[in-house]
Chains A and B, each alone.
Chain A
Amino acid sequence: MPDQILNVDNLSKSFAGVRALQGVNLTMERGEIRCLVGENGCGKSTLIKVIAGVVQPDEGTVTLNGRQYRQIRPIDAIREGIQVIYQDFSLFPNLTVAENIAFNYNLARKKQLVNWRDINRIAREAIAKIGVDLDLGAYVEDLPVADKQIIAICRAISQSARLVIMDEPTTALTEKEVRALFNIIKTLQREGIAILFVSHKLNEVLEISEKITIMRNGRNVTDGNTAGFDRASLVKHMTGREINETNAAIVPQAGNGSVPLLQAENLSCRGRFADVSFSLAAGEIIGITGLLGSGRTELALSLFGIRPADAGTISIEGRPAEIRSVQDAVRHGIGYVPEDRLIEGLFLERSIGSNIVAGTLRRLTRRGLINRAAVGAQIRQWTENLHINTPSTELPVKSLSGGNQQRVVLAKWLAINPKILIMNGPTVGVDVGSKAEIHQIIRDLARQGIGVIIISDDLPELLQNCCRILVMRKGRVLEELPTEGLSEADLTHRLSATTPAPASGTPAHSGQRKQVRPS
């Protein structure tokens, strides 16, 4: 077997006329640990999909183990020893853990018959390698995200792979589990397996990789040995601009007013989160963060009425509020900009204008019929206010870039006139320019008196915009940290911690920490 496992040469790919990849090159040798780095939308995912055979390139070649391919099918890539851990895991929810882990093993060997004992053995060996304990007979759809990520990792390493591609594999893992993963990566390297590690967590990138390839807007920017890069240079190459990350922008003053806008007391939702309390004042921006599976999104969904809490109280402007449905939440002035805007936030086939007024249609009627003029005015107003860049609001919203799409979702909610805005991952998949603008919009909203809750993984984002950050872990609020004087390194450390720091901000409502898993 040749030493060069992968050689991507001059790869180009367009979707509906838009260039996702342009002239991209990449090589991987035996035992190499390389990181692929770039902002959302730079083409990393597309590149991975081409290598895995899921997407066919328009131009260029992919050479695997010395064999050149013009068209790769997924099964070809698998047989050449390429294993991918996808960001969305790509597991089979209706099959058991054991079967998922062993699935590729059977497929790659062209096995026709299924030996269940073998499957269990393979699965047991894989999870032992990572050092976790999972119920092999459980159905994947019943398991929490963190377990799913581990299962996806197990599946990739249970195969005799030559190249393992990991797409954001640590989003749900604790510091301890990340260490374990890094150890596995080192072990795989010793066995001669190459690892392509895709991550936006720059400290992880700098730690684990030996070589780095940076992409931007579908092209290669640069690559080289990790030793030659530091955080600042990475950011500069990724974004094309000098961004001073340590510049904590103006930390907004907490709003004044004696009665908090939103007060949550001992909110609990069985299997999701327990005993969450916090308050939000008008004009305040607070942040909530934690690893995937920490319960932060569930908390938001409870506040928004999608999955109402079982216990605890919510008070809005001092008065208790029953939030048992989304309609209740909206009536109380709560808006929610969701995490997955494609599925949860947008009606992709519908026009931009249609999306903007989606929530206010009922208010824009006159004698039962839709008031065209009012609707048009509202669309124009928000398109201008939020600088939504499009030649016409009649185009389908899927034609917009991530940044503009996010503005449309925001517009939809602002049109409803919320008092409280919960934003989950407000700048995920958004280009750098839009990101800064959206942050500005958020700060403007706060200045107008709206209370904002930002849920995010992006620590710099939280540090720059929020005055307080709640750290959640396994369904509980570990601690509440004021951002003043808080560094990113500190915050990262607090994220994976299992106990609150001795003297830092408000002590957690911890004591007993249950293993909170959905039943």
Chain B
Amino acid sequence: MFDKLPSITSFISRDRNIGRLLGVALFILIILSILNPGLFLTVSNFKSMAYQLPEFGLLAMAIMIALLTGGIDLSAVGIANLAGVLAALTMIRFIPQGAAGWQITLVIGAAVALGLVIGAICGAINGFLIGRIGIPAILATLGTMQLFTGISIIITKGYAVLGLPDAFLYFGNGTIGIFPVPLLIFIVIAVLFALLLNKTALGQELFLMGTNPTAAKFTGLDNFRLTLKTYMVSGLLSGLAGLMIIARTNSAKADYGASYTLQAIVVAVMGGVDPAGGAGTVTGLVLAMISLQFLSSGFNMLRVGGSFSNYFRELVWGVVLILVMVINYLDAKKRARTPQESGTDAKAQMPDTAAGAGSAQQ
């Protein structure tokens, strides 16, 4: 990974998954374009996708980083909603009628900061429970999901918070040139995220810990610190997602986006993230996201499943997830049978031990 600068072709062929995903995305694009070019290939269609994708993308990245370390973050959506609710309330409470421009900006700034800080704090709570107390990630984030959502419910008493200032809504609905603002924000964050994972010591250590936490410990890595930081980043991303949601929809609800968690996991697994930890790329994630977004808006347009397109979509997500995992399994099995490329005095590991063909009954 550090030895040679990869060219684009070696990059794609090296990770066959990315190549496959690229193919899938293009395939879906073409099929849908053929089926209904009038609706699909329009600027407005791409635009609406471009507005919704970013908030989901941030959540997917949040869940991805948790998966990379061998854990999972089921509370991402809960954190997003809590951050959104608190930010929204701040803006509504502290912006008096007819306030001056600078006042509005100040409050918006504070609200945004609050949302991010809440995200980080919630993430730190997750990280502490998982890293220090030792609660398995599934259970911990299951619990915090209930807790964070529950707090949102207590605050909002179940009602939606409405009426956000226009200046803030710009972030969810405005454009710079032809590019929607949320999309730009997402691209910037995605690039930074990829940088974090691939080019910083922290990122590489996360991969190591996700691959083998025991060896990580024995190498001197501070697993607790790494876990804490992982979930804080996850929380931050979720918080940001929450802000983007309320910026786009102009409302903050305690239970928005309940289906996002499953979708994010589908996207992550499809994008090449190993659910057991240790592998995954941002590129793969983004490609998978785009593919599924195409598919999703395609369903909408084609009115597949009649007026039950939402439910049909859920069905498809489940099928996609299972299919992807089965394909990955068969692929790994096939590769374990064929000879290694190295040809050195390679001695393979026995398949019925833990180090073998990844049969973790998770």
Judge whether B275 is part of the interface by a CB distance below 8 angstroms: no
> Cβ of B200 and Cβ of A379 under 8 Å apart?
no
Judge whether A440 is part of the interface by a CB distance below 8 angstroms: no
Instruction: Give the one of A18, A351, A375, A404 with max B CB within 10 A.
Output: A18
Which residues of chain B are near A342, meaning CB under 8 Å? 349, 353, 355
Binary contact track A336-377/B, C-beta < 8 Å → 1, others 0: 101000111111111101100111011011001110100110
Judge whether A400 is part of the interface by a CB distance below 8 angstroms: yes
Give bound CA distance, A151 to B357, whole Å.
29
The minimal Cβ–Cβ distance linking B206 to chain A, given in whole angstroms, is 11
Judge whether B331 is part of the interface by a CB distance below 8 angstroms: no
Which residues of chain B are near A354, meaning CB under 8 Å? 1-2, 204, 208
> Cβ of B204 and Cβ of A326 under 8 Å apart?
no
Beyond A326-B217, A375-B2, whether A349 also contacts B201 by CB under 8 A is: no
Number of interface residues of A (CB under 8 A): 61
Beyond A16-B339, A330-B220, A368-B200, whether A402 also contacts B215 by CB under 8 A is: no
Instruction: State which of B1, B340, B350 has its C-beta within 8 Å of the C-beta of A351.
Output: B1
> Cβ of B208 and Cβ of A401 under 8 Å apart?
no
Instruction: Give the one of B205, B338, B345, B353 with max A CB within 10 A.
Output: B345
Which residues of chain B are near A15, meaning CB under 8 Å? 336, 348-351
Which residues of chain B are near A365, meaning CB under 8 Å? 200-201
Beyond A391-B343, A399-B340, whether A353 also contacts B352 by CB under 8 A is: no
Which residues of chain A are near B348, meaning CB under 8 Å? 15-18, 20, 398
Which residues of chain A are near B221, meaning CB under 8 Å? 358-359
> Cβ of B351 and Cβ of A370 under 8 Å apart?
no
Which residues of chain A are near B3, meaning CB under 8 Å? 353, 376, 379, 392-394
> Cβ of B349 and Cβ of A376 under 8 Å apart?
no
> Cβ of A343 and Cβ of B215 under 8 Å apart?
yes
Judge whether A468 is part of the interface by a CB distance below 8 angstroms: no
Give bound CA distance, A402 to B346, whole Å.
8
Which residues of chain A are near B216, meaning CB under 8 Å? 347, 358
> Cβ of B201 and Cβ of A41 under 8 Å apart?
no
In A398-454, the 8 Å CB interface with B consists of 398-402, 404, 412, 416, 431
Judge whether B175 is part of the interface by a CB distance below 8 angstroms: no
> Cβ of A401 and Cβ of B345 under 8 Å apart?
yes
Give bound CA distance, A16 to B357, whole Å.
11
Judge whether B354 is part of the interface by a CB distance below 8 angstroms: yes
> Cβ of A389 and Cβ of B345 under 8 Å apart?
yes
Judge whether B279 is part of the interface by a CB distance below 8 angstroms: yes
In B1-23, the 8 Å CB interface with A consists of 1-4
> Cβ of B199 and Cβ of A399 under 8 Å apart?
no
Beyond A49-B350, A327-B220, A372-B2, whether A349 also contacts B342 by CB under 8 A is: no
Which residues of chain A are near B347, meaning CB under 8 Å? 18, 20, 41, 401-402
> Cβ of B346 and Cβ of A348 under 8 Å apart?
no
Instruction: State which of A16, A54, A338, A416 has its C-beta within 8 Å of the C-beta of B338.
Output: A16
Closest to A348 in B: B355
> Cβ of B211 and Cβ of A344 under 8 Å apart?
no
> Cβ of B354 and Cβ of A391 under 8 Å apart?
no
Beyond A354-B204, A376-B3, A391-B342, whether A348 also contacts B220 by CB under 8 A is: no
Instruction: Give the one of B220, B339, B354 with max A CB within 10 A.
Output: B220
Judge whether B182 is part of the interface by a CB distance below 8 angstroms: no
> Cβ of B342 and Cβ of A344 under 8 Å apart?
no
Judge whether A55 is part of the interface by a CB distance below 8 angstroms: yes
Closest to A55 in B: B352
Judge whether B214 is part of the interface by a CB distance below 8 angstroms: yes
Closest 9 CB pairs of A and B: A17-B339, A15-B348, A361-B201, A16-B348, A330-B220, A375-B2, A401-B345, A347-B211, A362-B201
For the complex with contacts A55-B352, A389-B345, 11 further pairs of A-B residues with Cβ separation under 8 Å are A15-B350, A18-B346, A18-B348, A327-B220, A343-B354, A344-B215, A348-B212, A354-B204, A364-B201, A365-B200, A376-B2
Q: Chain A interface (Cβ within 8 Å of chain B)? A: 15-18, 20, 41, 45-46, 49, 54-55, 306, 325-327, 329-330, 336, 338, 342-351, 353-354, 357-359, 361-362, 364-365, 368-370, 372, 375-376, 379, 389-395, 398-402, 404, 412, 416, 431
Sampled A-B contacts (27; CB under 8 Å): A15-B336, A15-B349, A16-B337, A16-B338, A18-B340, A20-B347, A329-B220, A344-B218, A345-B215, A347-B215, A347-B216, A349-B211, A349-B279, A350-B211, A358-B208, A358-B219, A375-B2, A376-B3, A389-B344, A391-B343, A392-B3, A393-B3, A394-B3, A398-B348, A398-B355, A401-B344, A401-B346
